[in-house]
Amino acid sequence: MSESPVTERITASRGDAAVLTAVLIGSLVAVGLGAFGKIHEPQFFSVNVAGFSSGTAVKAWLGTFAVVLALFQLVSAFVMYRLIPGGRAPAWISVAHVWSGRLAVLASVPVAVHCLYALGFAETDSRVLFHSLFGCLFYGVFVTKMMLLTRKGLRGWVIPIAGGLLFFVLVYVWLTSALWFFQTSGITF
């Protein structure tokens, strides 16, 4: 039995309001991080781990680890949404998807701390400017997606779009930081 048109409209408006609220809060997070990074005086040191030559090397490797996990996220999402031929998704894939996402964000936190605390929001050249912008956007989109995951009644395309945007932003941040680091410094630890 299908719902009445009035019930469908109410559910859609609640879902749309949830999306708008999540996007607004995510936007505030992104702008807040950017403002903190711009106002905060860079300390030029934040995170270093034994065995790495610098905080920037740690940042590059943790960022790379996060992107590898995000690639798994993309493939596992394709499997869960049956966009890859092969029938039903294995029972373990949704748990692996959730945990790989958690680990990716966990790996990105020291990177963000290093960027914001040690380097700040900078615009010395276009690569650095876009890295700063997309780094802040990453956490804004992350907050948006996490809020959306807790809501019911969303349109079917909302979560995949949020996840795809999160993947795109993370890859762009990696391209403008870790890949650049490896190209200029070599594969160093």
Q: Within a 13 Å sphere around the CA of 108, how many CA atoms are in the beta-carbon half?
A: 24
CA distance 85 to 54: 44
Asked if residue 76 lies in contact with residue 114, where contact means CB atoms within 8 angstroms, the answer is no
Of 71, 66, 141, residue with least CA distance to 110 = 66
pLDDT band of 137, cuts 50, 70, 90: very high
Q: Which long-range contacts (CB under 8 A, 24 or more apart) does 42-49 make?
A: 42/117, 42/118, 42/119, 42/120, 42/122, 43/117, 43/118, 44/118, 44/119, 45/118, 46/113, 46/114, 46/117, 46/118, 47/110, 47/111, 47/113, 47/114, 47/118
Asked if residue 119 lies in contact with residue 44, where contact means CB atoms within 8 angstroms, the answer is yes
pLDDT above 60: residue 22 = yes
In angstroms, the first-to-last Cα distance of the chain is 60
**36 backbone dihedrals φ, ψ, rounded to 5°:** -60, -45
pLDDT above 60: residue 24 = yes
pLDDT above 70: residue 58 = yes
> pLDDT value at position 54?
76
CA distance 16 to 154: 7
Mean pLDDT of the chain: 87
For the four alpha carbons of 107, 112, 113 and 114, in that order, the dihedral sign comes to positive
Domains of the chain, residue spans: 5-185
Q: What is the pLDDT of residues 65-93, one digit of tens each?
A: 999 999 999 999 999 988 888 888 899 99
> pLDDT value at position 176?
95
Q: What average pLDDT does range 40-52 have in this prediction?
A: 72
Q: Give the CA radius of gyration of the chain.
A: 19
> pLDDT value at position 83?
87
Q: What average pLDDT does range 27-40 have in this prediction?
A: 93
pLDDT above 90: residue 189 = no
